[in-house]
């Protein structure tokens, strides 16, 4: 060891919170609530992930309705409810949905989604920009879902969005981190939290995203379509925590050639370089009893 390991503290999520709009969260995993096999699976998955932000589609729930079964799975005393405008085709529709949610629930947080193409479900950058501007002016905390576009991400954060949420791959595909280099650029220029949203399908994908330095990841399909959603939620929770620790620890260099992991100096039993040189040049001792001398073996 080159230094006392006590100089490097062990990571504690409590001392490394995710801050969004002034609120602190120890979990860096945000999850959705759509397509689960059962409400029990949804409830258990929320618990297994440890998620403290849970998003719900305004088109699928009745905000403010105490009997809504999806909302009943979410303990709002410890979880930030995040309505989303999934299904909105333009800025006007997204703004209308967000205002309806605020009126019904009192929540001013909104995950902004504008996806006019039902085939690709890619976010519309122009309408997303328009809607974000209107919602911020109206007092909303806006978390916009976008393509992995560094220029749009910078414009939205400068406008006042609370986060930017670039996709990793098309929504629902589980293909993983296809936009890695664009996300890396977004992270490098970010002044607000970067949340990778959509396309992550395996815990390893989430760990890789966190190792890039993103602040959180958002999941739905990877959990809800798993054979065992609560167990998959636990796996993603551990992956996100591992990826965050890897990023904070500082990943080792990637090299083209092999480099010995053991030092050539300060070896056990060697006092100094002179001793090592002397030892390396010493005459070999006599062979052990019963051993075949090397020269005899070669001559045979």
Q: How do strand 18-20 and strand 23-25 relate by DSSP bridges? A: antiparallel
pLDDT in tens, 25-75: 999 999 999 889 999 999 999 999 999 999 988 766 656 555 568 887 888
Distance CA 160, CA 156 (A): 7
The predicted structure's pLDDT at residue 278: 45
- Beta-bridge partners for 120: none
Range in 6-15, 47-56, 180-189, 279-288 the model is least confident about: 279-288
Residue 176 has pLDDT above 70, yes or no: yes
The predicted structure's pLDDT at residue 14: 64
pLDDT band at 280 (very low <50, low <70, confident <90, very high): very low
34 in Cβ contact with 58 (< 8 Å): no
Ordered by where they begin, the domains of the chain are 5-249 (3.20.20.70)
Residue 260 has pLDDT above 60, yes or no: yes
* Distant-in-sequence, close-in-space partners of 230: CB < 8 Å, separation ≥ 6: 41, 44, 45, 47, 48
- Per the prediction, the chain carries an average pLDDT of 85
What residues are labeled active site? 111
The predicted structure's pLDDT at residue 221: 93
Distance CA 47, CA 161 (A): 28
């Amino acid at each position: 060891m080159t230094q006392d390991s006590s100089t490097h503290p062990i990571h504690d999520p409590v001392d490394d919170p995710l801050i969004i709009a002034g609120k602190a969260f120890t979990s860096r995993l945000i999850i959705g609530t759509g397509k689960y096999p059962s409400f029990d699976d949804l409830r258990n998955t929320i618990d297994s992930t440890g998620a403290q932000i849970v998003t719900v589609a305004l088109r699928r729930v009745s905000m403010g309705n105490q009997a809504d079964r999806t909302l009943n799975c979410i303990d709002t005393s410890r979880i930030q409810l995040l309505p989303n405008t999934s299904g909105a085709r333009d800025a006007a529709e997204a703004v209308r949905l967000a205002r309806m949610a605020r009126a019904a629930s009192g929540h001013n947080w909104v995950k902004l989604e504008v996806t006019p193409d039902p085939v690709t479900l890619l976010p519309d950058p122009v309408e997303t920009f328009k809607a974000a501007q209107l919602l911020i002016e109206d007092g909303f905390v806006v978390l916009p879902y976008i393509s992995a576009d560094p220029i749009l991400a910078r414009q939205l954060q400068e406008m006042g969005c609370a986060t930017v949420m670039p996709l990793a791959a098309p929504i629902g595909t589980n293909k993983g981190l296809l936009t890695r280099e664009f996300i890396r650029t977004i992270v490098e220029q970010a002044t607000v939290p970067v949340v990778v949203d959509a396309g992550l399908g395996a815990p390893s994908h989430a760990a890789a995203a966190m190792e890039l330095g993103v602040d959180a990841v958002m999941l739905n399909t990877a959990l809800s379509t798993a054979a065992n959603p609560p167990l998959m939620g636990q796996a993603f929770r551990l992956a996100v925590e591992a990826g965050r620790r890897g990023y904070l620890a500082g990943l080792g260099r990637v090299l083209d050639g092999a480099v010995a992991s053991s030092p050539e100096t300060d070896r056990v039993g060697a006092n100094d370089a002179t001793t090592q040189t002397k030892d390396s040049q010493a005459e070999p001792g006599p062979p052990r009893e019963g051993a075949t001398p090397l020269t005899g073996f070669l001559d045979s």
